[in-house]
Structure formats: C-alpha cells, structure tokens
Amino acid sequence: MIHEASPDNLVLAARTAGVTDTRLLEAVRTVPRAGFVPAAEAGSAYWDIPVPLPCGQVTTQPSLVAMMVAALGLTGGERVLEIGTGYGWQTALLARLAGHVVSVERWPELVAEARRRLTAHGFGAVEVVLGDGTLGAPYGAPYDAVIVCAAFPQVPEPLVAQLRTGGRLVQPVGPGGRERVELYEHLPGGLERRRTIIPARFVRLYGAHGYPEGSS
C-alpha cells in the first residue's frame, strides 16, 4: 500500500529528472496535486507515479510533466495551448508560469472536473474547452508554446499553424505506448525538431488530425 508523501517528493523527482527552473519547481511544490486526482488516488498524489482517471485516461508521471513543461522555457507572459487537460494539474502549473492558458480536452467529464478543480484552487482564469485537440484552439492563436499530452507519429498541422514563429512545441511522437517526447521550435521555414526529452508511454491522440475515434 502506498502511504502519504509530501509535495517535496515531487520536487525531488523533478530535480532528479534534471529540472532546474526554480519557478517551475516552486509551482510543483505549491500546486496541490492531491486536488487534481480522483479522491481514491489522493493518497498516492505525491509519489512520482501516474494515477488513473475516468474515461480510460491516466495522468502523466509528475517528473515527466515537469520535464515537458521545463522544455517550453516559459518566462511569465506567454500564451500556452495545452492538448489534454485531464484533471488539470499540469494546466495549473502552466498557469503559474505563463500569462494565459487554453486547454483542450475531448472528454466532457474531464472538462467538468478540471474546470471545477482549477476554480477551487484559484485558477479560474484558465480556459478549459471541450473539443478535438488535434484542431487546437484557433480563436486564441498564435500561441507562444504548445504542449500535447497524447501520442501520434507526427505533429498535427493545425497545432503547427497556431504556434507563432519562434514558439516551442512539446509532443510525444510515436504510436501510443512507445514513443519519444520531442521538443520542436517553429522557424520561418516550418517546425524543426530540437531534441528528444525522454522516451515515454502515452495514450493515443485521437481526432481529425490524429487517430480515428474508435481505433485501437
């Protein structure tokens, strides 16, 4: 049985993974992950492990969240597009680090839970919208950074189009369950891969520019 731990466990896990951004580490310490997981999973919220969510989804491991967010290089005023809200812990971290966050989630139940939890913890200004994440959220473009929390073999073109020149994008690239988390930069000539952050396992990205709904 997993016993309670403290947020410092997550900070240590992020530091061990190579995260040095002090603003991000402070956000990991102070944004209560226990408030962004199902009640039955609250006892394991401060261990560096994924936890299950409704709709067959799962949270991203906290140290991996920290690595992905750190790669965006946020400094405080950016507009960020997040694909895959879950219960909103990563969304809250982004809101602490950036100027504005739009998060797209495909499951109505998760949208409702994320909105409720973000508001309860003082993040009511974050926009959580129901929709096809592969289409992004064009009404808020251009974005300074895009972070995708599901896997597909390539970056959906609408997300590239909504990223400003000079902006960064992080996405797990692969078939789902066996991929590399990649960092890209949007240059005048198109999207250019900068580096692999880490190998990982993610759920698949479904939508018009991802896997067809119902495929497995």
Domain ranges of the chain: 51-200
pLDDT band for position 8 (cuts 50, 70, 90) = very high
Q: 32-54 in b/e burial notation, b at 16+ Cβ within 10 A?
A: bbebbbeeebbbbbbbbebbebe
- Is the per-residue pLDDT at 1 higher than 50? no
Q: Tens digit of pLDDT for each residue in 77-116?
A: 999 999 999 999 999 999 999 999 999 999 999 999 999 9
* Residue type present at position 98: A
More confident residue, 60 or 216: 60
Fold of 51-200: Rossmann fold (3.40.50)
Question: What are the backbone angles phi and psi of residue 5, rounded to the nearest 5°?
Answer: -130, -175
pLDDT band for position 216 (cuts 50, 70, 90) = low
- Is the per-residue pLDDT at 2 higher than 70? no
On average, the pLDDT of the chain sits at 95
